[in-house]
């Protein structure tokens, strides 16, 4: 197994939209910003996000967007509006966006562990 030197990249989230920011973060976590990118090798860098509370939604997404998850039990659908989730934890809004932009495979949890907030 080949060892890679992982660098820590700091990104300032102030004044940025969560979706556009999440695509950049996902690319760095996967390692697509490097020359020797291979899909089966996890060569991505660590990402540290600054000023997460200063991201903003465009349009009426803050009122209309709903985050859903299901507990796999009857009647177990849980819903939370973006406005409420953002007030509780803006980190979770960005973490949710990044997780959904990473490939759904065994490497996703390891990649998400390299995402930190300040």
pLDDT, mean of residues 75-103: 97
pLDDT, mean of residues 34-55: 94
Q: What rounded mean pLDDT belongs to the chain?
A: 95
HSE of 106 in the Cβ direction (CA atoms, 13 Å)? 4
Provide the 3-class DSSP secondary structure of residue 80: strand
Q: Which of 59, 62, 58, 55 is nearest to 16 (CA)?
A: 55
- What is the tally of structural domains in the chain? 1
Q: Is the pLDDT of residue 61 over 70?
A: yes
- The confidence score (pLDDT) of residue 1 equals 56
Q: Label residue 16 by pLDDT band (50, 70, 90).
A: very high
Q: Is the pLDDT of residue 93 over 80?
A: yes
pTM of whole model > 0.85?
yes
- Contact present, 52 and 10 (Cβ < 8 Å): no
| Structural domain boundaries enclosing 42 | 8-56+90-117
User: Is residue 69 a part of any domain in this protein?
Assistant: no
Q: Label residue 3 by pLDDT band (50, 70, 90).
A: confident
- Contact present, 24 and 45 (Cβ < 8 Å): no
- What is the phi/psi pair of residue 69, to 5°? -150, 155
User: Is residue 73 a part of any domain in this protein?
Assistant: no
User: Is residue 101 a part of any domain in this protein?
Assistant: yes
What CATH number corresponds to the domain at position 17? Answer: 3.90.1180.10
User: Is residue 66 a part of any domain in this protein?
Assistant: no
Distance CA 51, CA 55 (A): 8
């Amino acid at each position: 197994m080949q060892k890679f030197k992982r660098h820590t990249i700091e990104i300032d989230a102030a004044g940025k939209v969560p979706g556009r920011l999440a695509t950049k973060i996902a690319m760095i976590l996967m390692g697509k910003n490097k020359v020797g990118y291979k899909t089966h090798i996890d060569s991505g860098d660590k990402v540290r996000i600054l000023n997460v509370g200063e991201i903003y939604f465009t349009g009426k997404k803050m009122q209309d967007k709903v985050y859903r998850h299901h507990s796999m039990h009857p009647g177990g659908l849980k819903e939370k509006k973006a406005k409420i989730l953002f007030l509780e934890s803006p980190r979770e809004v960005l973490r949710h966006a990044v997780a959904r932009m990473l490939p759904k495979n065994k490497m996703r949890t390891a990649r998400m562990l390299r995402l930190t907030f300040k």
